Amino acid sequence: MTAREQLATRPRIQPRRAAAPPAPPPRRRPNHAAAVLVTPYVLLLLVGGIIPVGYAVVKSLQNESETGFGGLSSYARVTADFRFVETFTNVALVLCVWLPVMLTTVVILALLIDASSRRFGATMRFVYYLPGSLAGIANFMLWLFLLNPGQSPVDFLWDGFGYTSLNEVAQPDNLPFILAAMLFFQGAGTWIIVLCGGLNGIPDELLEAARVDGATARAVVWHVKLPMLRPWLGYMTLLNLAYGFQLFLEPQVLSQVTHGLISPQWTPNQLSFTYAYQILDTPAAAAMSVILLLVTLSLGLLVIHRSRLFQDER
Amino acid sequence: MLSPHLGRIGRTATLLLFAAVFGYPLLAYLAVAFRGGDGADSAVALGNAVATWQSILAFNDGTFLQWLTNSIIVASVGSVVAVVAALPAGYALARLRFRGRRLLRFLTLLTMVVPNTVLVIPIYLEVSAVGAVNNLWVVGLLMGFFPFGVYLAYIHFKTTLPTPIVESARLDGLTDVQTFFTIALPISKQAVALVGFFSFVANWTNFFLPMVLLPLSTSTTVSVGLQQLVSSSPLFDPTTAAGLDVRLYAPHLALATLVTTLPVLVVFVLAQRYLIRGQTLGAVKG
C-alpha cells in the first residue's frame, strides 16, 4: 500500500518541473489560499509554542528582581542549585531501566502477535493497550494502589522484599524502577500497536519470496521483519528519551503521598515548577525551562533528522 | 529449531502471560471500586459502588462534578480547536506550495516530538504576564495547539487524497480554499476522527498544564482533582483527612479514577473504527 502511494505521489513532481512556463500563475494563487488555510494553526503555534519559548528566553536573561538585564545570572543560579545535576541523573536512571526493558519487550510481543492468528493477536494487542487508556493521573492512581502493601494485589511481591508500608516500597532508591514500571505499563501497548502496524505493512510478496527462497521463520524475523522495524525503533528510542525529561506528575504526587520522602524536586520539570511557584524566582524558572527545552529540542532534532519517517520527498 | 507445535504453545503462553501482567492490575483495581467501606475484606457488590459514589459527590460539596465539567469544557474546546486548525493546515502543507511551508512543517515536527510538559512553565509565564490564569477557555484554546494533529492531517491528505481529483478541481476553476472545503474535507471523516480523538485524550489526561494554569481547586480539571482526592485520603494523610467529613478510602479513589476514564473510553468507542484501520500508521512507514 505504501509503495503504491509513494509511486502515486512521485510522478506528480516531474511533469511539473518539465512544464516550467505555466508555473508562475498557479503559484500566486496557492500562496494566497495557503495563507488562509494555515492561519488558525500558525496563530496557535505562536501562542502555544513560539511566543512562550521566546518569552522564557527573555525572562531567563533578566536579573533576579526582574528589573533589568541580568545576563546569564539566572542560569548560574539554577545550575548552582544542589538539586540541578541530581534531577538529570534521576531522569537518566529512569531511562536506563525503562528504555531497554520497554524496547525488547515491545519488539518481542509485536513479533509474537504478528505470528499469531489474526483474532488471538488482535485480542492480545487490545489487552496490552488497555492500561494505555489509563493515561497520566489515572495510571498513577492505579499504581498507588499497587504500591501500597496491605491493599495491593501484588502484595506477595512486597512481602518478598519485606516491605510493609508505602514509604518502604517508594523509597528513593526504588523510584527509578517504580517510574520505569509505571511508564512501561502505560506506554507499551501503544508502541505494540505501532510496531504491529509496521509489521502489517511488510508486503506479502516479500514474505512470500523469502519463504520460497527457503528462509526459516527465524531467518524471516532476523533478515526481513527486524530490519523493517528498525526505523520505528530508532524513532521510538529518541522520542522516549525526550519523554523521560518531561516527567513531572508521578514523582510529584509520590512525593506528596510519601510526605517528602521523595524529593519534591526529583525531576527537571519539578525543579522548574518549584522556582516558578514556591521560590517565585521567575527568571530562574525560565532558565530551567530553557535548559530543558535545549535538551529536548536537540533530541527532537535528532528524531526528525534520523528517522526515515519524516524524510522529505524533496 | 523447535517444532512448530511447541513454538506455537510457547508463543501463546508468552502472550497470555503478558496479558495477565497488563490485565490483572486493571481487574483488581476495577474490583476495588466495588468494595465497601475502606475496601479491606469487603465483598464486591454494585450497591457498594453506589454508596461510594455518593461520598465522592459529598466531598467538598460536589466539587468532583465541577472538576468533571471543567475537564469536559477544556478537553472539548481543545479538540474542536485542534480539528479546526489542523485539517486546513495539514491540507496546505500536503497539497499546496507556499513560502514558509518547509519551516512550518519543521516547526510542527519539532513541537510534536518535544514533550509538551517542557512548554508548560514558559506558557505559564506567558499566560500570567497577560493575567489570564484560572481561565478555562484559555486552557482549552492552548490545548488546541496540537502539532501531532497537523501531522496526522498532513499524512492523511498526502496519502488518501488522489492527486487527479485535486488537479481536476483546479481545472474546473475552484480555488484551493474551495477545493479544500468542497472536495478534501468531505472525504476526510477519518482524519477528523483521528485528530479529534488523539487531541481529546491528550487534553483529558493533561495534568501539568491545568495544574499550573488553573490553580484554584474549584476551577481545575478532574486530573488535577484526583490528586487532591489522594491528598485528602486517610490512606496517605491521616492528619488532614481527620478534619474532613468525607473519608476517602481505596474504593473511593478507585471509583473516582474509573469514572474519570469513562469519557476517554466513550470517545475511543466512537472513533474506534477509524483508529483500528491503522491506515495512517501504515502510511507513514518509510
Domain boundaries, given as residue ranges, for chain B: 4-11+15-52, 61-284
Predicted confidence at residue B72, as pLDDT, reads 94
Residues A44-101 have pLDDT tens digits of 999 999 999 999 999 999 988 888 888 889 999 999 999 999 999 999 999 999 999 9
Locate cell 518549584: which residue?
A274
The count of other CB atoms within 10 Å of the CB of residue B218 is: 13
Spatial distance between the Cα atoms of B91 and A227, rounded to a whole number of angstroms: 32
Q: Which of B6, B15, B110 to mutate to test the interface with A (most CBs of A within 10 A)?
A: B15
One-letter amino acid identity for A130?
L
Kindly indicate the confidence band of residue A243, based on its pLDDT and cuts at 50, 70 and 90.
confident
Kindly indicate the confidence band of residue B187, based on its pLDDT and cuts at 50, 70 and 90.
confident
Q: Which chain A residue has the Cα nearest residue B82?
A: A41
Hey, are the CB atoms on A276 and B18 less than 8 Å from each other? Answer: no
Helices A282-306 and A226-244 sit at what angle, rounded to 10 degrees? 170
Hey, are the CB atoms on B282 and A200 less than 8 Å from each other? Answer: yes
Most confident of A110-119, B78-87, B92-101, B222-231: B78-87
Residues B11-67 have pLDDT tens digits of 999 999 999 999 999 998 888 888 877 766 677 888 888 888 888 888 888 899 999
DSSP string computed for chain B: ---HHHHHHHHHHHHHHHHHHHHHHHHHHHHHTT--TTSTT----HHHHHHHHHHHHHTTTTHHHHHHHHHHHHHHHHHHHHHHHHHHHHHHHHH---TTHHHHHHHHHHHHHS-GGGGHHHHHHHHHHTT-TT-HHHHHHHHT--HHHHHHHHHHHHHHS-HHHHHHHHHTT--HHHHIIIIIGGG-HHHHHHHHHHHHHHHHH--HHHHHH--STTTS-HHHHHHHHHHTSTTT-HHHHHT-SS---HHHHHHHHHHHHHHHHHHHHHHHHHHHT-HHHHHH--
Spatial distance between the Cα atoms of B156 and B226, rounded to a whole number of angstroms: 36
CATH of B61-284, one of 2.30.60.10, 3.40.1190.20, 1.10.3720.10, 1.10.10.10: 1.10.3720.10
Res. A11: pLDDT tops 90: no
The count of other CB atoms within 10 Å of the CB of residue B39 is: 22
Predicted confidence at residue B40, as pLDDT, reads 67
Determine the distance in angstroms separating the CA of B66 from the nearest CA of chain A, rounded to an integer.
18
Closest Cα to residue B84, out of B199, B164, B173, B4? B199
Predicted confidence at residue A28, as pLDDT, reads 46
Predicted confidence at residue A314, as pLDDT, reads 37
Q: Which chain B residue has the Cα nearest residue A122?
A: B276
Kindly indicate the confidence band of residue A267, based on its pLDDT and cuts at 50, 70 and 90.
very high
CA distances from B210 to A245, A305, B31, B117 (A): 19, 32, 30, 11
Q: Please give the mean pLDDT across all residues of chain B.
A: 85
DSSP state of A172: G
Closest Cα to residue B246, out of B30, B61, B50? B61
Q: Which chain B residue has the Cα nearest residue A149?
A: B235
- When mean pLDDT is compared across A14-18, A37-41, A75-79, the lowest value belongs to A14-18
* Selected residue with higher pLDDT from B220 and B277: B220
Most confident of A230-234, B45-49, B81-85: B81-85
Res. B75: pLDDT tops 50: yes
pLDDT > 90: what percent of chain B?
Answer: 33
Q: Which chain A residue has the Cα nearest residue B41?
A: A151
* Selected residue with higher pLDDT from A151 and A182: A182
DSSP state of A264: T
A104 and B6 Cβ atoms separated by less than 8 Å: no
DSSP state of A62: B
Any bridge partners for residue A69, and if so which?
A62
Spatial distance between the Cα atoms of A254 and A192, rounded to a whole number of angstroms: 28
A53 and A293 Cβ atoms separated by less than 8 Å: yes
One-letter amino acid identity for B182?
T
Locate cell 494566497: which residue?
A32
Q: What are A167's three cell numbers?
A: 514509604
Closest Cα to residue A137, out of A52, A257, A24? A257
One-letter amino acid identity for B2?
L
Kindly indicate the confidence band of residue B233, based on its pLDDT and cuts at 50, 70 and 90.
confident
* Selected residue with higher pLDDT from A31 and A13: A31
Question: Which residues of chain B does A52 touch, with a Cβ-Cβ cutoff of 8 Å?
Answer: 119, 122-123, 125-126
Question: Which residues of chain A does B92 touch, with a Cβ-Cβ cutoff of 8 Å?
Answer: 33-34, 37-38
**ipTM, interface predicted TM-score of the complex:** 0.87
Query: Maximum Cα–Cα distance for chain B, whole Å?
Result: 75
B120 touches chain A (CB under 8 A): yes
Q: Please give the mean pLDDT across all residues of chain A.
A: 82
DSSP state of A202: S
Predicted confidence at residue A5, as pLDDT, reads 29
Kindly indicate the confidence band of residue A307, based on its pLDDT and cuts at 50, 70 and 90.
low
Side-chain half-sphere exposure of A271, counting CA atoms within 13 A: 25
Q: Which residues of A236-273 are buried (b: 16+ CB within 10 A; e: fewer)?
A: bbbbbbbbbbbbbbbbbbbbbbbeeebbbbbbbbbbbb
The count of other CB atoms within 10 Å of the CB of residue A124 is: 23
Predicted confidence at residue A24, as pLDDT, reads 41
Domain boundaries, given as residue ranges, for chain A: 84-264
Predicted confidence at residue A211, as pLDDT, reads 85
CATH of A84-264, one of 3.40.50.1000, 1.10.3720.10, 3.40.640.10, 3.90.180.10: 1.10.3720.10
Residues 6 or more apart whose CB falls under 8 angstroms from that of A36 comprise B88, B177
Spatial distance between the Cα atoms of A161 and A7, rounded to a whole number of angstroms: 58
CA distances from B228 to A22, A277, B51, B217 (A): 64, 17, 20, 8
Most confident of A89-98, A142-151, A157-166: A89-98
Hey, are the CB atoms on A145 and B117 less than 8 Å from each other? Answer: no
Spatial distance between the Cα atoms of B117 and A243, rounded to a whole number of angstroms: 9
Predicted confidence at residue B204, as pLDDT, reads 92
Element (H, E) at A177: helix A175-200
Predicted confidence at residue B277, as pLDDT, reads 60
